[in-house]
């Protein structure tokens, strides 16, 4: 007899309307990033509400210093792999740098490609007030879009660093409200004081998903490689590591290398007659 899926409130697929309707409910929304089939399948089995195919893949998968070099084709490639693995969670794919900033028409074309070629349920873009027209164009084209305000990795040059907490309460609230009014179904709040995130969450009718924004948001997202302890040398205040898979994988790799070098592997039990 198979065991029930862990931590899953429902086996029914998560949709954009269901995700948006989760605002203010007792159970917070859960989001993790994934970039390939195995982890996406594992997170979906665990019952995560949404999987974000983030342009953070530029840093944690490609080893680059920022998200900015990631291309649309790369996001489509990884998004299709993740969507193919997922049976229940809502899959959201980032619009990468300079695929939506030129014009709303550019954003509609590229978001349409992402949803058509990956099978994902929604896209995400960074920005509030200055991207309101773009968010509105996406929503009017029936392309579900999640907003992202606060620390915006694609604006790292303007904001002064990837780990810089954003503290302009008036600007942050204006950005969040602009994204909601333009038609975003949810919004990521990144790296801001918890009190500001709580005010934004109370002011909006759409779910807020925090990362470095405290516990007052309607849900939380983490980069999965960070959450699982696969990455080293990155320890912002908000990050909680739920495992140390780097150490586990390193120890297993060392054992494999040693056993092969010593002739212990493969032994008789791992060989065919």
Output the domain CATH number for residue 210. 3.20.20.60
Structure tokens at 208: 């807020």
CA distance 81 to 117: 11
- For residue 11, report the phi and psi dihedrals to the nearest 5 degrees: -90, -5
Determine the number of helices (DSSP H) and then strands (DSSP E) in the chain. 11, 8
Long-range Cβ contacts of 36-39 (<8 Å, 24+ apart) = 36/78, 36/81, 36/82, 37/81, 37/82, 37/84, 37/85, 38/85, 39/224
Query: Do residues 111 and 57 both lie within one domain?
Result: yes
pLDDT of residue 16: 98
26/84 same-domain check: yes
DSSP letter for each residue of 198-229: HHHHHH-SS-EEEESS-TTSSEEEE-HHHHTT
Host domain of residue 235 = 16-242
pLDDT score of 2 = 43
User: Do the Cβ atoms of 95 and 123 come closer than 8 Å?
Assistant: yes
Q: How many other CB atoms are there within 10 angstroms of residue 58's CB atom?
A: 23
Residues 211 and 248 in one domain: no
User: By three-state DSSP, how is residue 117 classified?
Assistant: helix
In a domain, 6, yes or no: no
Same domain, 95 and 215: yes
Q: Is residue 55 part of a domain?
A: yes
Do residue 84 and residue 206 come from a single domain?
yes
**Is 7 within the bounds of a domain?**
no
209: left (phi over 0), alpha (psi -120 to 50) or beta: beta
Residues 252 and 238 in one domain: no
Residues 50 and 66 reside in one and the same domain: yes
Please report whether residue 127 resides in a domain: yes
Kindly state whether residue 4 falls inside one of the protein's structural domains.
no
Residue 62 in any domain: the answer is yes
Is the domain of 108 the same as that of 222? Answer: yes
**28-34-36 Cα angle (round to 5):** 150
Residues 213 and 189 in one domain: yes
Kindly name the residue from 181, 190, 251, 273 that is annotated as catalytic: 190
Of the candidates 92, 95, 119, 126, the one whose C-alpha atom is nearest the C-alpha of residue 109 is 95
CA distance 16 to 21: 9
- The pTM assigned to this predicted structure is 0.94
183 and 248 both lie in a single domain: no
Is 45 part of the annotated catalytic residue set? no
pLDDT mean by block of 10 residues, the chain; 273 residues: 46 94 94 98 98 97 94 98 98 97 98 98 97 98 98 75 82 98 98 97 98 97 97 90 97 98 97 96
Residues 214 and 160 grouped into a single domain: yes
Considering the domain architecture, whether residues 271 and 233 belong to the same structural domain is answered as no
Count of Cβ atoms closer than 10 Å to residue 65 Cβ: 10
In a domain, 37, yes or no: yes
- Number of domains, the chain: 2
Residue 266 confidence (pLDDT): 97
């Amino acid at each position: 007899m198979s065991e029930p899926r862990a931590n899953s409130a429902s086996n029914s697929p998560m949709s954009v309307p269901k995700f948006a309707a989760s605002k203010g409910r007792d159970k917070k929304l859960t989001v993790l990033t994934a970039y390939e089939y195995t982890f996406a399948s594992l997170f979906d089995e665990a019952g995560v509400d949404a999987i974000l195919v983030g342009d953070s893949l530029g840093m944690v998968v490609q080893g680059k210093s920022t998200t900015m070099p990631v291309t649309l084709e790369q996001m489509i490639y990884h998004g299709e792999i993740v969507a193919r693995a997922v049976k229940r969670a809502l899959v959201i794919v980032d619009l990468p740098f300079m695929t939506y900033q030129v014009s709303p028409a550019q954003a509609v074309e590229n978001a349409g490609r992402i949803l058509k070629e990956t099978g994902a349920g929604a896209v995400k873009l960074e920005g509030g007030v200055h991207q309101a027209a773009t968010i509105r164009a996406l929503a009017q084209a029936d392309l579900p879009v999640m907003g992202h305000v606060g620390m915006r990795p694609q604006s790292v040059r303007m904001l002064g660093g990837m780990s810089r907490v954003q503290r302009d309460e008036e600007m942050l609230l204006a950005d969040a409200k602009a994204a909601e009014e333009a038609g975003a179904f949810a919004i990521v709040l990144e790296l801001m004081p918890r009190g500001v995130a709580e005010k934004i969450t109370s002011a909006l009718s759409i779910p807020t998903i925090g990362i470095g924004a405290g516990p007052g948001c309607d849900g939380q997202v983490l980069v999965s490689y960070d959450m699982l302890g696969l990455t080293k040398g990155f320890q912002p205040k908000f990050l909680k590591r739920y495992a140390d898979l780097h150490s586990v994988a390193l120890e297993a790799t060392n054992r494999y290398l040693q056993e092969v070098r010593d002739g212990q592997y493969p032994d008789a039990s791992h060989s065919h007659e």
